[in-house]
């Protein structure tokens, strides 16, 4: 998503600057003028390369203040934004100091008539700039690591109305995302912290809706989460305020209904900004005797207005998928917050 160039190390930046300054050639019959032009030009190209390289690194990072909260929260999860900002500030500061040394040295070389003094001033400038660049070594190393982490950021086209899917393992979340998706591409994967998000798409009345499967994130109780997972879930809630919670009352998923409902209650409590469409999946299968589906009604009642709709359907046979789509469209049209509208399609 963010195209950040390879972050060079101190020595690599200096090598590049050195190579450039060694290529400088001056022809002037007058020895003194030749030395003057040569030294000025060497300083100019050496400092110039350092300046432009540092500037390139600083500009390559996104301006954090203008990013949508979803990305701020994700980036913060990968690496503290404050630290990145401080480092970029130091790089920028060094760039400016290098510019000052360059101007001053060129002026000193212009004003003297002694070739030895010209040489001396050039060497001094190279030395000072080099030690300033060496001082950035740790910062450059850190930025290189940040760059690697940024590669993990998803580039979800977040401007579409978005729904995230939650529910126990094997209740049919992936199947639901696949079956409901009709647009082109049907589904796409995006890296997301340590996982991959699978995103499905369908179009209704020229609006594209996206439904996000979040493997491993919204399928376990919140108290069993580590910090990273909790933050990743919070980042997800910045994508949208509407989720679909999938239940499998048939037990084919390998889990009874009761813990599935407990998960729903736990998510409702831990993710206060998100309301849910509750789905009872696998309606093509019989519900075994002894399963008390009135527990679903109880939880739906308990959820009050945070249950946006309750539907029974079968992801695999397709029964009920159209009602789900209609329900999503109505809910999204009534949705006043529309978090996805805070997103640009491109950064």
Ligand X SMILES: Nc1nc2c(ncn2[C@@H]2O[C@H](COP(=O)(O)OP(=O)(O)O)[C@@H](O)[C@H]2O)c(=O)[nH]1
What element of type H or E holds 53?
helix 31-60
Angle at 108 between CA 29 and CA 41, to 5 degrees: 50
Residue with tokens 């400016």, as numbered in its chain = 96
**Which of Mg ion, ligand X, none does residue 211 bind (CB under 5 to 8 Å by kind)?**
none
Q: Which of residues 79, 174, 266, 270 is near Mg ion by CB under 5 A?
A: 174
The verdict on 174 binding ligand X (CB under 6 A) reads yes
Strand 162-167 and strand 242-247: the pairing is parallel
Q: What is the secondary structure of 98-158 as a DSSP string?
A: HHHHHHHHHHHHHH---HHHHHHHHHHHHHHHHHHHHHTHHHHHHHHHHHHHHTTS----T
**Which of ligand X, Mg ion, none does residue 331 bind (CB under 5 to 8 Å by kind)?**
none
Separation of alpha carbons 105 and 41, rounded Å: 11
The verdict on 173 binding ligand X (CB under 6 A) reads yes
DSSP symbol at 209: E
Q: Which of residues 315, 324, 328, 332 is near ligand X by CB under 6 A?
A: 315
The verdict on 82 binding ligand X (CB under 6 A) reads no
Separation of alpha carbons 203 and 211, rounded Å: 11
Structure tokens at 131: 């030690």
- Tell me how far, at minimum, the Cβ of 176 lies from Mg ion, in Å: 9
CB atoms within 10 A of CB 107: 12
Q: Which of residues 5, 127, 169, 288 is near ligand X by CB under 6 A?
A: 169
Residue 127 and residue 119 in contact, taking contact as beta carbons nearer than 8 Å: no
The verdict on 195 binding Mg ion (CB under 5 A) reads no
- Tell me how far, at minimum, the Cβ of 339 lies from ligand X, in Å: 24
- Tell me how far, at minimum, the Cβ of 204 lies from ligand X, in Å: 22
Q: Which of residues 55, 92, 124, 284 is near ligand X by CB under 6 A?
A: 284
Angle at 57 between CA 51 and CA 60, to 5 degrees: 130
What element of type H or E holds 329?
helix 321-334
Q: Measured from the CB atom, is 171 or 277 closer to ligand X?
A: 171
Which of these segments, 36-44, 52-60, 170-178, 317-325, binds Mg ion (CB under 5 A)?
Answer: 170-178
Separation of alpha carbons 251 and 309, rounded Å: 22
**Which of Mg ion, ligand X, none does residue 170 bind (CB under 5 to 8 Å by kind)?**
ligand X
Size, binding site for ligand X by CB under 6 A: 15
The verdict on 285 binding ligand X (CB under 6 A) reads yes
Residue 167 and residue 173 in contact, taking contact as beta carbons nearer than 8 Å: yes
Residue 4 and residue 150 in contact, taking contact as beta carbons nearer than 8 Å: yes
Q: Which of residues 18, 170, 231, 270 is near ligand X by CB under 6 A?
A: 170
Residue with tokens 């001094």, as numbered in its chain = 124
**Which of Mg ion, ligand X, none does residue 37 bind (CB under 5 to 8 Å by kind)?**
none
Q: Which of residues 222, 316, 325, 335 is near ligand X by CB under 6 A?
A: 316
The verdict on 97 binding ligand X (CB under 6 A) reads no
Which of these segments, 73-81, 87-95, 156-164, 314-322, binds ligand X (CB under 6 A)?
Answer: 314-322
Residue with tokens 């998503």, as numbered in its chain = 1
- Tell me how far, at minimum, the Cβ of 172 lies from ligand X, in Å: 3
Q: Measured from the CB atom, is 50 or 164 closer to ligand X?
A: 164
The verdict on 172 binding ligand X (CB under 6 A) reads yes
**Which of Mg ion, ligand X, none does residue 239 bind (CB under 5 to 8 Å by kind)?**
none
Q: Measured from the CB atom, is 102 or 173 closer to Mg ion?
A: 173
Q: Measured from the CB atom, is 66 or 194 closer to Mg ion?
A: 194
Residue with tokens 């949208």, as numbered in its chain = 240
Please name the residue ranges forming H helices in 203-256.
Answer: 227-239
Binding stretches for Mg ion (CB under 5 A):
173-174
Binding stretches for ligand X (CB under 6 A):
167, 169-175, 281-282, 284-285, 314-316
């Amino acid at each position: 998503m963010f195209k950040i160039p390879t972050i060079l190390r101190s020595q690599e930046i200096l090598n590049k600057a050195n190579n450039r300054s060694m290529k400088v050639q001056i022809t002037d019959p007058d020895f003194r003028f030749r030395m003057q032009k040569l030294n000025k030009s060497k300083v100019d190209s050496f400092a110039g390369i350092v300046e432009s390289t540092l500037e390139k690194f600083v500009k390559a990072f996104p301006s954090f203040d203008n990013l949508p909260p979803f990305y701020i929260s994700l980036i913060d999860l990968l690496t503290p934004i404050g630290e990145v900002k401080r480092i970029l500030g130091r790089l920028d500061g060094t760039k400016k100091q290098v510019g000052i040394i360059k101007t001053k040295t060129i002026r000193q070389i212009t004003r003297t008539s002694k070739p030895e003094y010209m040489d001396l001033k050039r060497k001094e400038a190279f030395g000072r700039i080099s030690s300033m660049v060496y001082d950035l070594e740790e910062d450059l190393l850190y930025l290189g690591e940040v760059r690697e982490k940024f590669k993990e950021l998803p580039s979800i086209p977040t401007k579409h109305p978005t729904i995230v899917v939650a529910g126990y393992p094997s209740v049919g979340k992936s199947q639901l995302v696949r079956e409901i998706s009709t647009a082109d591409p049907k589904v796409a994967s995006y890296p997301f912290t340590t996982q991959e998000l699978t995103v499905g798409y369908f179009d209704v009345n020229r609006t594209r809706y996206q439904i996000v499967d979040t493997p491993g994130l919204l399928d376990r109780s919140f108290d069993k989460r580590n910090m990273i997972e909790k933050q990743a879930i919070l980042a997800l809630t910045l994508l949208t305020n509407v989720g679909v919670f999938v239940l499998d009352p048939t037990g084919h998923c390998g889990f009874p209904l009761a813990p599935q409902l407990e998960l729903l209650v736990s998510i409702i409590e831990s993710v206060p900004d998100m309301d849910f469409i509750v789905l009872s999946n696998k309606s093509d299968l019989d519900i075994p005797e002894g399963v008390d589906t009135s527990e679903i009604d109880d939880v739906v009642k308990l959820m009050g207005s945070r249950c946006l709709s309750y539907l029974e359907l079968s992801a695999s046979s397709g029964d009920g998928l159209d009602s789900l789509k209609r329900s999503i469209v109505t809910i999204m049209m009534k949705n006043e917050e529309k978090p996805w509208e805070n997103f640009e399609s491109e950064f």
